[in-house]
Chains A and B, each alone.
Chain A
Amino acid sequence: MELVTPEVGLVFWTLISFLILLFLLGKFAWKPILAAINEREQSIETALSRAEAVKEEMARLTGENEALLKSARAERDAILSEATKVKNQIISDAKDAAQKEGSRQIELARIEINNRKAIAMADVKNQVASLSLEIAEKVLRKQFEDQKKQDELVKDLLRDVKLS
């Protein structure tokens, strides 16, 4: 029974000591300690959120860069393919033009050749004709020097006329 009977003196001193302890610790220890811990937690939190924001910003920038790179690459590809197309076009155009020009030239040459040939042939014909005429004149002149042969010819010609 003695064990569970509180003694007045101890109750009194405990009450006073505990309240003093509560006051002193509360004022000079718990308040500053909790405030400091709180402050530190908040600074950690802000640092973390800031880091998170920076990370996001970085990711955004990286994404942007990537997109930029991608579009640049696509543009480059487009330009390249365009250039290739243009090049092929130019080459084929040039080829066509060259071919056309060649064939035109050939045609012209052919026409020229033909012209020349025709002219030459005409010339030759003329010369042959005049030569033949001269020869014929000369032959005729020779042939028709005597009268007899002339008559003979006339006879022959007439015979031919009869036949036809």
Chain B
Amino acid sequence: MINGSILKTKIFNITLICAFFLALGAFPTKALSQENKPEGGEKKFNPQEIIMEHIADKHEWHMYGKSYLPLPIILYTDKGLETFSSAHLQPQGTVYAGKYYSYMLVNNKIKVADTNGKIDEVNNKKVLDFSITQNVASMWMTGIILILVFFSMSSAYRKRPGKGPKGIQSWMEPLVLFIRDDVALPNIGVKYKAYMPLLLTIFFFILINNIFGMIPVFPGAFNLTGNIAVTLVLSVIVLLVVNLKANKYYWKHIFVPNPWWLFPIMIPVEIVSIFSKPIALMIRLFANITAGHIIVLSLISLIYIFGTQWAAVVSVPFTVFIDCIEVLVAFLQAYIFTMLTSLFIGMAIQEHHDHEVI
């Protein structure tokens, strides 16, 4: 009896997983169609506009159909802080009169405008947008998920000390061990322990946001790790950690290259390399995730470009295929970012340098 029910749940899980992958392909179709239709049949379908809109950050979180989750808008103006709900700015082009200025949304960006909807370029520069956008909200959501998952995991270790992993532990422990044994240990060496929290946080932060970004329905469908601001922050953290933890060999390698007559070439090159490594990290993650979203959306857009649902016969299987690749990419990019971070840290803190000047 018990065995039977376990078997059933397993089958159920497989169907769930299949359904999930099918849904990846199926849902954007609906989302796009519902977004497109209200704007009027006479307007020509513009895939670039729609794709760019999906990729960019937004001030509201699309839920189902026409319903949107309004998000708080926080503006730092020269006159003071201003907060209001993004519902006041919907639909796009609506002018909302705030405490200090009046605002409207243009391409999901908040602009200072007069009551007629004319953008005030001078005052626009005085307003900094610190809104809780879709990306910020989704980042908090994934952050809370990470905290719940790993706090429960750590309490499981506390409750059953010395026992084998169980439940959520057995899902997450291989990944944690993978980061420790195959990423941190070989690249950093014996001092890896101090960097484990950073590496694990980076890995799981990127991974969960990659995965959630691919879910085409409400709690997902954002493009956080494909946003340059997020990858910028991550790589700046890497840059700071690498250079603040670097030892004398690292700096010697940069400022005292061998032989001496290479100084004029090597010093600028080495200084550039300090920054080029994190910049490469930033661009790689951003480009990979954004490209994945663009491909999926483009394939779905094919249906509307051809104007017949028969195009779905081609584009939906392709989308499913690309989604499968994107799941791989989600793991791969999280791994590569973490691996390169640990590699840079390892290069900065290693004791014996190949180019050491005697």
Interface of A toward B, CB cutoff 8 Å = 2-15, 17-18, 20-22, 24-26, 28-34, 36-37, 39-40, 43
Contact of A12 among B130, B228, B237 (CB under 8 A): B130
Residues of A within 8 A of B204 (CB): 25
Binds A, one of B3-11, B140-148, B257-265: B140-148
* Contact digits for B173-191, partner A, Cβ 8 Å, 1 yes 0 no: 1001100100000000000
Q: Which size bracket describes the interface of B in this complex?
A: 35 or more
Is A10 within 8 A of B237, CB to CB?
no
Residues of B within 8 A of A17 (CB): 136, 139-140, 143
Name 4 extra pairs, CB < 8 A, besides A10-B136, A33-B176: A7-B57, A9-B74, A25-B200, A40-B161
Number of residue pairs A-B, CB distance < 8 angstroms? 119
User: Which one of A17, A22, A33 has the highest number of Cβ atoms from chain B below 10 Å of its Cβ?
Assistant: A33
Residue of B nearest to A26 (CB): B197
For residues 190 through 234 of chain B, which have their beta carbon under 8 Å from a beta carbon of chain A? 193, 196-198, 200-201, 204-205, 227-230, 232-234
Indicate if B17 sits at the interface (CB-CB under 8 A): no
Contact of A13 among B139, B180, B196 (CB under 8 A): B139
Is A10 within 8 A of B57, CB to CB?
yes
Is A7 within 8 A of B205, CB to CB?
no
Residues of A within 8 A of B290 (CB): 3
Residues of A within 8 A of B129 (CB): 7-9
Residues of B within 8 A of A8 (CB): 128-130
What is the distance, in angstroms, from B222's C-beta to the closest C-beta of chain A? 11
What is the distance, in angstroms, from A119's C-beta to the closest C-beta of chain B? 112
B contact patch SS: helix
Is B136 within 8 A of A7, CB to CB?
no
Q: Contacts A39-B162, A43-B162 given: A10-B201 contact, CB under 8 Å?
A: no
Binds A, one of B152-160, B246-254, B296-304: B152-160
Is A33 within 8 A of B150, CB to CB?
yes
Residues of B within 8 A of A2 (CB): 52, 56, 107
Question: In the complex, A9 Cα to B83 Cα: how many Å?
Answer: 14
Residues of B within 8 A of A20 (CB): 143
What is the distance, in angstroms, from B246's C-beta to the closest C-beta of chain A? 20
Interface of B toward A, CB cutoff 8 Å = 52, 55-57, 74, 107, 128-133, 135-136, 139-140, 143, 146-147, 150-151, 153-154, 157-158, 161-163, 173, 176-177, 180, 193, 196-198, 200-201, 204-205, 227-230, 232-234, 237, 286, 290
Question: In the complex, A40 Cα to B135 Cα: how many Å?
Answer: 39
A contact patch SS: helix
Is A3 within 8 A of B52, CB to CB?
yes
Residues of A within 8 A of B135 (CB): 10
Please give me the 4 A-B residue pairs with the lowest Cβ-Cβ distance, nearest first: A26-B197, A36-B157, A29-B150, A6-B229
Is A14 within 8 A of B162, CB to CB?
no
Residues of B within 8 A of A39 (CB): 161-162
Is B151 within 8 A of A28, CB to CB?
yes
Residues of B within 8 A of A37 (CB): 157, 173, 176-177, 180
Residues of A within 8 A of B52 (CB): 2-3
What is the distance, in angstroms, from B83's C-beta to the closest C-beta of chain A? 13
Question: In the complex, A114 Cα to B155 Cα: how many Å?
Answer: 120
What is the distance, in angstroms, from B186's C-beta to the closest C-beta of chain A? 17
Contact of B157 among A6, A14, A15, A33 (CB under 8 A): A33
Residues of A within 8 A of B131 (CB): 9
Residues of A within 8 A of B230 (CB): 10, 14
Question: In the complex, A3 Cα to B150 Cα: how many Å?
Answer: 33
